[in-house]
Amino acid sequence: MHPACALHRHHRPGRHPSDAHPSGDVSVRTAGLTRRDAGVMTSSTAARHAMGLVGPAIVLGVLTALRLPWLHAPLVTQDEGIIVLYAQQILDGRLPQRDFYTVYGPGTFALTAGAFAMLGSSLVVERLVGLALQSLVVLGVYRLALGRGRVFAVGASLLSVLCLTPLGLAAYAWVGGLCCIVWGIVLLQGRRRLVPAFALLALSAFFRPEMALPALAAGLPFLTSRAAWRSAVLGVATGSAPSVVFYVTWGGRAFDNVVLQRGLVNARMQIDGHIVVILCLAVATLLVLLLSAIRVGSAEAWSRVLLVALMLPQLVQRTDLDHLGYLMALGAPFVVLAGFGRPESASRWPSVIGRGALVVVLALLIVPSRLLVAPGPSAAYEVAGRSVEVPAEDVGAINELRRSVLHLVSPGARVFVGTQDMRMPSVTPVQLYFLFPELRTDAYYLEMPIGISTTVAEQMADDVRGSDVLLLSRFPRDLTERLFPNVPLGPSDADEAVRAGFCPAGGSADLRIMVRCATARNDGLVQ
């Protein structure tokens, strides 16, 4: 029986409830009970808080266990190499867009540069930044799913961990943007923190400008009143301020670099069975979310549809496991949220089974072979306070390359890393800049741009002419045609600048060392 009911039953009309007790001091007894109850409640609250930490701890433990084997893996991709290189460029006083080309916002480079300033310039530090960003993403998914129960939240966030696996530990700009989006959506759930929610959604543009469109679209279903719109405008203004200040002050070339160089080059990869499966999986995910939104009709459901739908163009532009991972890091948990945990879904077994099958297929497709195979042996190559993990068998070649280059030019000379045919879009070993701290890296195009327009070719030629030593790698033509089938060859200005002023000075067929012909003659390399 409820205490209030018992008190009412024993209370006689005309008498104060305290008269029912011989002592007549109910207040003292009640106070004593309250103190005991308070102790029990405090203990219970502490226990609940402790239990509340178990789920996030499990998720972070699994994420860390899966990622740590790659902390010291060799650097093999240009995409990760530019994070390390551009973070160091910021520490050296140069800024993205203003001083060097990039198709990304400054967010991830600035974060990594800050970590370098505190912990030292190394690939391991950059990867710790990547681990921190992934942790924020999966914890955001956990918080989104927590309303369905802790077990459900752990399952949804572990699925996000699985989907992020192809990215390894690199601190990619997309992951930084996903952090802003997922936590913005978390704040939107209560509908009372619209200003910080939209500020976070808009902040995604600081990592990748094009992420602002799907991020802000995800917030639209929550704007159901004039007051909500006012809060959203204030939030967007707040979250956009860093991007606005950066692009107005230093990022004047961002439109050319981000929109013209990247945004208009879509479907660059040849269609094959692998790509078709990835696209079909992404479209199926969107359809599941759309059907769920039509059935449920909630702002949360329509928010998920808009976010995934507007992220699809990026997957079309780069149809590979990495970009599928970006999409599915939130898309896959959204599918689970749409198909499970709702009371009305208990009688919809065909729908639930279908969605469950989709999640299983997703898991089978997302898990890359590298999850099951340990990374190859690596060595931490250290020079002048910088450290990068390289394949163990490459240490000798790097030592020889450094010895040869530093014998040809003096410290402070300008170096340019390019390709032997700079008319083609290509991938270059940009980490070489990082491994030559004795040399100046003043080039604007530290990485090769995707499309070589007339303006780009002129700037690349200026980069070549302003350098003292060139490191030109060989990029196979057939690989260019496979990766960039819709990007035509550009002007040959940069190649002509090489032929006009530089002579071979060593290296190999895969990586030529070129110096100014006057320098080569003085060193007796050419007659």
CA–CA gap between residue 464 and residue 55 (Å, rounded): 54
Mean pLDDT value across residues 41-61: 74
The answer to whether 63 touches 138, Cβ cutoff 8 Å, is yes
The predicted pLDDT at position 7 comes to: 39
Tell whether the model's pLDDT for residue 19 goes beyond 70.
no
Q: How many residues does the chain have?
A: 527
Lowest mean pLDDT among 73-77, 399-403, 434-438: 73-77
The predicted pLDDT at position 418 comes to: 96
Lowest mean pLDDT among 147-161, 206-220, 459-473: 147-161
The predicted pLDDT at position 54 comes to: 87
The answer to whether 312 touches 263, Cβ cutoff 8 Å, is no
Tell whether the model's pLDDT for residue 349 goes beyond 60.
no
Lowest mean pLDDT among 59-73, 238-252, 356-370: 356-370
Phi, psi of 184 (to 5 degrees): -65, -40
The predicted pLDDT at position 6 comes to: 43
The answer to whether 229 touches 216, Cβ cutoff 8 Å, is no
The predicted pLDDT at position 142 comes to: 96
Residue 79 Cα distances to 82, 83, 244, 319, 320, angstroms: 6, 7, 25, 15, 14
The predicted pLDDT at position 206 comes to: 96
For the chain, the average pLDDT equals 83
Query: What is the per-residue pLDDT across 414-439, written as a single tens digit (0 to 9) for each?
Result: 999 999 999 988 899 999 999 999 99
Phi, psi of 308 (to 5 degrees): -65, -40
Query: What is the per-residue pLDDT across 246-256, written as a single tens digit (0 to 9) for each?
Result: 999 988 888 88
E-only strand ranges, 152-304: none
Return the number of other C-beta atoms located less than 10 Å from residue 275's C-beta: 16
Instruction: Classify 250 as helix, strand or coil.
Output: coil
- 376 or 204: which leads in pLDDT: 204
Tell whether the model's pLDDT for residue 354 goes beyond 60.
no
Single out the residue of 180, 63, 203 nearest to residue 131, CA to CA. 63
The predicted pLDDT at position 123 comes to: 95
Mean pLDDT value across residues 81-110: 95
Residue 282 Cα distances to 264, 303, 375, angstroms: 21, 17, 29
Residues with Cβ within 8 Å of 36's Cβ and at least 6 positions away in sequence, in order, are: none
CA dihedral 298, 302, 307, 311 (to 10 degrees): 150
CA–CA gap between residue 274 and residue 166 (Å, rounded): 15
